[in-house]
């Protein structure tokens, strides 16, 4: 009988030690890129983007950030400089040129 009680006590103690809890669920981000996304920063805030293209004229898919100074390049393949044609709040056309060294990958946190 003592052996049975000792066995029962040890097995319950061992079971309590082995239980594994599941890790907490990670919150989903609001924005998750489908493919690697790159970004570049402008000198001034803009109202809308007219055109984004490589310096050789190949068009790029793009998106304007909430701060109105960040341009997200959705299909950039790290191959060259980029030209951004934009318009500010007053309706003036602006042009920004950026070399590949200042175009950064977007890193999700």
E strands along 15-100, which residues? 38-41, 48-54, 62-64, 70-73, 82-87, 93-98
Please give the pLDDT value at position 10. 64
Q: How far apart are CA 51 and CA 48, in angstroms?
A: 9
Q: How far apart are CA 97 and CA 100, in angstroms?
A: 10
Domain count, the chain: 1
Q: How far apart are CA 63 and CA 81, in angstroms?
A: 17
Residue 78 pLDDT > 80: no
Please give the pLDDT value at position 106. 87
Residue 15 pLDDT > 80: no
Identify whether 21 is part of a domain: no
Span 94-109, pLDDT tens digits: 999 999 999 998 887 6
Identify whether 19 is part of a domain: no
> For the domain that residue 72 is a member of, what is the CATH number?
2.60.40
> If residue 3 lies in a helix (H) or strand (E), which one and from where to where?
helix 2-18
Identify whether 26 is part of a domain: no
Query: Which structural domain range is residue 61 located in?
Result: 31-109
Span 36-75, pLDDT tens digits: 689 999 999 999 999 999 999 999 999 999 999 999 998 8
Higher-pLDDT residue of 80, 4: 80
Please give the pLDDT value at position 100. 92
Please give the pLDDT value at position 3. 67
């Amino acid at each position: 009988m003592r052996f049975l009680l000792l066995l029962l006590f040890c097995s319950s103690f061992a079971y309590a030690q082995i239980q594994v809890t599941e890790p907490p669920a990670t919150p989903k981000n609001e924005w998750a890129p489908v493919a690697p996304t790159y970004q570049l920063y402008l000198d001034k805030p803009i109202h809308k983007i007219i055109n984004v293209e490589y310096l050789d004229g190949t068009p790029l898919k793009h998106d304007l950030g909430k701060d109105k100074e960040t341009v997200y390049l959705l299909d950039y393949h790290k191959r060259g400089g980029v030209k951004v044609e934009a318009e500010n709040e007053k309706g003036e056309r602006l042009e920004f040129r950026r070399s590949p060294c200042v175009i950064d990958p977007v890193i999700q946190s």
